[in-house]
Amino acid sequence: MGYFDVPEFDYTRYSNRQLAAVPLAVLAVALLVLTGSFLATGAPVQLGMDFAGGSELTIQTTSSEEEIVQAFDEEPESVQAVTAPDTENQYIVQFTSTDLSSLSEQAEANLAQDGDTAVVQEERTVSESFGEQTQQTALLGIAVAFLGMSVLAFLLFRTFVPSIAIVLSAFSDIVIPLAFMTITGISLSLGTVAALLMLIGYSVDSDILLNNQILRRQGDFYESTLQATRTGVTMTVTSMAAMLVMGVSAWLFGVELLASIGIILFVGLAADLMNTYMLNLSLLRWYKFHGVRS
Amino acid sequence: MGPISFVKEYWRLMLLLVFVSFALVALFIPGGIMADDSYVDGESVNDNPTNLEYGLGLDGGTRISAPVVGMTAENIDAGAVDDDGQVDRERLNEIESTLYDNDEFELETGDARVSIDDDGNVHAEVFTDEVTEEQFAAALAEAGVEVDPDEDIRDGVTAETRNQMIETIQSKINEAGLDGGDAYESEQLGGQHYIVTEVPDMDPDELRNLLSERGIVEVVAYYPEDDAGNHTNQTVLEGGDIATVDPPQTSERGGGYEVPVEVYSNAAPEFQDNMNELGFTGEGQGMCQLSGGEDGVNFDHDGPQYCLLTVVDGEVIDAHSMGDNLARPMAEGTWSSDPSFVMGAPDQQQAQGLSVSLQAGAMPAPLDFSQEQTYSLSPALADQFKLYSLLIGGLSVLTVSGMVFLRYRDVRVASPMILTAMAEVVILLGFAALIRMPLDLSHVAGFIAVVGTGVDDLIIIADEVMDEGDVSSQRVFESRFRKAFWIIGAAAATTIIAMSPLAVLSLGDLRGFAIITILGVLIGVLITRPAYGDILQRLLTDK
């Protein structure tokens, strides 16, 4: 066994209730955060420009951030400097207005050009009505994906408790990153929706592995659990590391799509570690020892 | 070991090698596996060392999506089709002209259309947002067509109109000399259709200008109506009457530009008769003092004028008199057998625009830019994104490799794991090059996700196979491998199910991500992961 060891966790010391309490409490807090945000702002998560409409410019200029803010008639929603190799003086500026042509005119008129490169390097706008349609489409997509996954879980295990354990922890895997987004102010974009959908696929892997090892194999419950945990934690931690690196490097380079996918998957996979090995496991243990199967 | 048993034992590994070599050929040999003519055309001759095609997000360019303005009364009972399926074209035209002449609202040229589709259903459309459903229904009622404004009239236009829009936009892009541009349709949830236009090398303002020009060209005769000095307009030629267009050139008659055109032979006699009747070839020959400028044509003048006006989208851009070269054959009646003449434009830009509009034809309806979605990326930043994608992808792969080495501390297990995961990406890239899928940032995210899920599954295989001590025999290996494969298959099925809505729904950037992830999972489960099992068996059973 190597340098990166999966810690062995003594499950026998805790009751099912104690084990399940932690993830359920976190889930409850997450739901509370989302409800609170919904009551306060009308949306559980801050909607990004893909869904709420707005404009974005990537500009190359020697002007300072302060000058950038003042260059536009409308105050920008956010200004982010891009930190990447071979790149200086690049900023991503977002607006709620959708009048792209006047925004890019203002940028070209009021900002200092950096050498020969054009001031406006990238421009993007989404109208409000287009955003609303995207919202509905995205909601439908998530609902269909989740439903499909649930049906598949039931088909695979054909028993209620193990299947519902998978569905419940997948649900929590999505809700926790959503609450994380609300708290940290990351807004929902197409990239984060993709990450949430990917989470449905990714997080179910470790649950399936655990269920399979415990239900379909002979042998001691704790031994099977230990095996499944060793493999599953390796998997999840490896993916988390990859996603963290991708998220952070993409964020520094200003490649938003990859950054949001990376960060959300990282958070979601962390939530998945907890949900799989505490929530799912406690449900399985209850099922194995007290369930109606004997 | 004989060749047959060798193949039997290592067919999975061999399959992987075959796929990787095909992918490498598709990626790196110029022309790839399916060489086609477009490659030789020079369009793809650039500094790109691979056969990969890049989309807007990695190559730069502008994309504008917008819906079409208009509403449609579908399947109207026009009485224009009889029981035998015979179509009464005159009746269709009659309804259309009633729409133009109705008392409820005013329409510009080209804003109404009554058409019949292949199934014999008649549809009426108006292309403006200044008409309400009630007004539209009332106007149709004037033409003797009863429709319920709430039930029979919907927002949007017919599929035929949209197809024509797309064709017109495509030819406009081509006429404007933009290689690699494209126009297509995307359907939103709830049935709204967006027309998406993508071009490299054009900023959003320019593209929006190109798309907002309907390109309805008319030649209007401006002549004295009576002796009191009142003048009147009459459309004598429409864009659809013009058969061929030559590139614009400077005018031989002093300033300005002109576009030489040839009129269809069936429209030519009428034009000729009109010119003769209205006096353009007689007393009006050469009698035009008006001319176009930057602000259009100034109509302040003294005395009678006989002008041919060039009108684009309802705006008069230039005025010319009838020259001797044209007047003589027209008066003699011989012009219609060689019906060519020139249309005037004040400057080169307008002449170019006129030429494009004439060649591409008119857009049947305007686009609604208040609902647009725009994305534009400069080629310089696109190049940076390519570099970043490579860096981010490389870093992610390095991280995964590092983790795997740390975990297993056994090169025999870890290095084939990483090689296998890379092989998956190579096969996917080869596939993308083969089908010429334009790669965007979302695809890059998909590739990284594929490496992630791929390694997950390889970890399952490795742990399962090495579990409970060394693998001593083939039989033990096979049974453990099969068990591992059940989990991998189930996990792959959930990923595919979770991603399939994205692959089908039109959620912009995300389609590419979903498609690559699904393809990657399939390639992984069917080809690369079984091969990893073979490698591991070879290494662990010490044969």
Q: Do B508 and A3 touch (CB under 8 A)?
A: no
Residue A161 lies in a domain: yes
Phi, psi of A289 (to 5 degrees): -95, -35
CA geometry: angle at B446 spanning B38 and B510, to 5°? 80
Residues A152 and A94 in one domain: no
Q: Select from A126, A159, A188 the last residue of a domain.
A: A126
Kindly state the tokens that stand for B455.
């390694």
pLDDT of residue B112: 83
Could you give the CA distance from residue A186 to residue A178 in angstroms, rounded to a whole number? 9
Q: Do B490 and A104 touch (CB under 8 A)?
A: no
Which range marks the domain in which residue A82 is found?
Answer: 54-126
Residue B3 scores a pLDDT above 80: no
Residue pLDDT, tens place only, B273-320: 888 888 888 777 777 877 766 667 777 777 788 888 888 888 888 888
Residues A153 and A165 in one domain: yes
Q: Select from A103, A126, A149 the last residue of a domain.
A: A126
ipTM of the complex: 0.83
Q: Do A140 and B189 touch (CB under 8 A)?
A: yes
Q: Do B505 and A193 touch (CB under 8 A)?
A: no
Least confident piece of the model among A49-58, B221-230, B509-518? B221-230
DSSP per-residue string spanning A29-77: HHHHHHHHHHHHHSSSS-B-HHHH-EEEEEEEBSS-HHHHHHHSSSPPS
Kindly state the tokens that stand for B420.
């296998």
- Does the CB of A107 have a partner CB in chain B at under 8 Å? no
Residue type, B13: L
With beta carbons under 8 A apart, name residues in chain B contacting A253. 384, 388, 391-392
How far does A59 lie from chain B, in Å, by closest CA? Answer: 10
| From A120, A138, A204, residue closest to B507, measured CB to CB | A138
Cα B284 off chain centre by = 47
Phi, psi of B485 (to 5 degrees): -70, -30
With beta carbons under 8 A apart, name residues in chain B contacting A212. 486-487, 490
Residues A26 and A147 in one domain: yes
Residues A141 and A275 in one domain: yes
Q: Do B498 and A148 touch (CB under 8 A)?
A: yes
How far does B445 lie from chain A, in Å, by closest CA? Answer: 6
Pick the closest to residue A194 from A126, A99, A259 (CA basis). A259
CB distance B292 to B343 below 8 Å? no
CB distance B480 to B473 below 8 Å? no
Radius of gyration of chain A (CA): 23
Q: Are strands B53-54 and B438-439 parallel, antiparallel or unpaired?
A: parallel
Pick the closest to residue B140 from B88, B98, B109 (CA basis). B98
Q: Do A231 and B459 touch (CB under 8 A)?
A: yes
| From B372, B402, B409, residue closest to A127, measured CB to CB | B372
Q: Do A152 and B513 touch (CB under 8 A)?
A: no
Residue A272 lies in a domain: yes
pLDDT of residue A294: 44
Which has more pLDDT, B194 or B509?
B194
| Mean pLDDT (whole number) for B488-501 | 89
User: Across all residues in chain B, what is the average pLDDT?
Assistant: 81
Pick the closest to residue B330 from B391, B294, B253, B278 (CA basis). B278
Which CATH code is given to the segment(s) B217-360? 3.30.1360
Residues A122 and A138 in one domain: no
Helices (H) and strands (E) in chain B, counts: 16, 20
Q: Which CATH number fits domain B62-67+161-213+367-375: 3.30.420, 3.40.630, 3.30.1050, 3.30.70?
A: 3.30.70
Phi, psi of B300 (to 5 degrees): -80, 120
Q: Tokens 């490169």 sit at which residue?
A: A117
Residue pLDDT, tens place only, B183-221: 888 877 667 788 888 888 788 888 888 888 888 888 888
Window A:115-174, CB contacts with B under 8 Å:
117-118, 120-127, 129-130, 133-134, 136-138, 140-142, 144-146, 148-149, 152-153, 156
Sequence ranges of the domains in chain B? 3-55+378-540, 62-67+161-213+367-375, 71-156, 217-360
Q: Are strands B257-263 and B340-345 parallel, antiparallel or unpaired?
A: antiparallel
Residue pLDDT, tens place only, B123-134: 888 888 888 888
Residue A67 scores a pLDDT above 90: no
- pLDDT interval class at A30 (50, 70, 90): very high
DSSP per-residue string spanning B392-437: HHHHHHHHHHHHHHHHH--HHHHHHHHHHHHHHHHHHHHHHHHTTP
Q: Domain B3-55+378-540 is classified in which CATH homologous superfamily?
A: Multidrug efflux transporter AcrB transmembrane domain (1.20.1640.10)
- DSSP classification of residue B115: E
Kindly state the tokens that stand for B12.
């999975």
Cα-based torsion angle of the residue sequence A100, A105, A108, A110 in order, rounded to the nearest 10 degrees:
-110
Residue pLDDT, tens place only, A245-269: 999 998 888 888 888 889 999 999 9
> HSE of A105 in the Cβ direction (CA atoms, 13 Å)?
6
Phi, psi of B296 (to 5 degrees): 90, -155
Question: Is B217-360 the same fold as B62-67+161-213+367-375?
Answer: no
CB distance B57 to B459 below 8 Å? no
Residues A41 and A119 in one domain: no
Q: Do B497 and A149 touch (CB under 8 A)?
A: yes
- Does the CB of A205 have a partner CB in chain B at under 8 Å? yes
Residues A257 and A207 in one domain: yes
| Mean pLDDT (whole number) for A7-29 | 85
With beta carbons under 8 A apart, name residues in chain A contacting B451. 242
DSSP per-residue string spanning B250-295: E-SSSSSEEEEEEE-TTTHHHHHHHHHHTTTTTTTTT-----EETT
- pLDDT interval class at B469 (50, 70, 90): low
| Mean pLDDT (whole number) for B532-542 | 77
Q: Do B377 and A250 touch (CB under 8 A)?
A: no
Pick the closest to residue B140 from B95, B77, B97 (CA basis). B95
Residue A1 lies in a domain: no
Q: How far is CA B394 from CA B353, B398, B399, B422, in A?
A: 47, 6, 9, 11
CATH code of the domain in which A133 resides: 1.20.1640.10
Phi, psi of B293 (to 5 degrees): -145, -160
| From A127, A198, A246, residue closest to B370, measured CB to CB | A127
With beta carbons under 8 A apart, name residues in chain A contacting B487. 208-209, 212
| Mean pLDDT (whole number) for A181-188 | 88
Q: Select from A73, A97, A126 the last residue of a domain.
A: A126
Could you give the CA distance from residue B124 to residue B112 in angstroms, rounded to a whole number? 8
- Does the CB of A31 have a partner CB in chain B at under 8 Å? no
Phi, psi of B69 (to 5 degrees): -75, 135
Residue A235 scores a pLDDT above 70: yes
Could you give the maximum distance between any two Cα atoms of chain B, in Å?
112
CB distance A22 to A172 below 8 Å? no
Residues A147 and A265 in one domain: yes
| Mean pLDDT (whole number) for B443-469 | 82
- DSSP classification of residue B441: H
| Mean pLDDT (whole number) for B517-532 | 89
Residues A166 and A198 in one domain: yes
Could you give the CA distance from residue B2 to residue B13 in angstroms, rounded to a whole number? 17
Q: Are strands B307-312 and B53-54 parallel, antiparallel or unpaired?
A: unpaired
Which CATH code is given to the segment(s) B71-156? 3.30.70
- pLDDT interval class at B45 (50, 70, 90): very low
Determine the residue among A127, A128, A152, A263 to mutate to test chain B binding: the one whose Cβ has the most chain B Cβ atoms within 10 Å: A127
Q: How many domains does chain A have?
A: 2
pLDDT of residue A170: 92
Q: Do B497 and A145 touch (CB under 8 A)?
A: yes
Residues A205 and A271 in one domain: yes
pTM, 2 dp: 0.78
With beta carbons under 8 A apart, name residues in chain A contacting B502. 141, 145, 194, 197
User: Beta partners for B61?
Assistant: B377
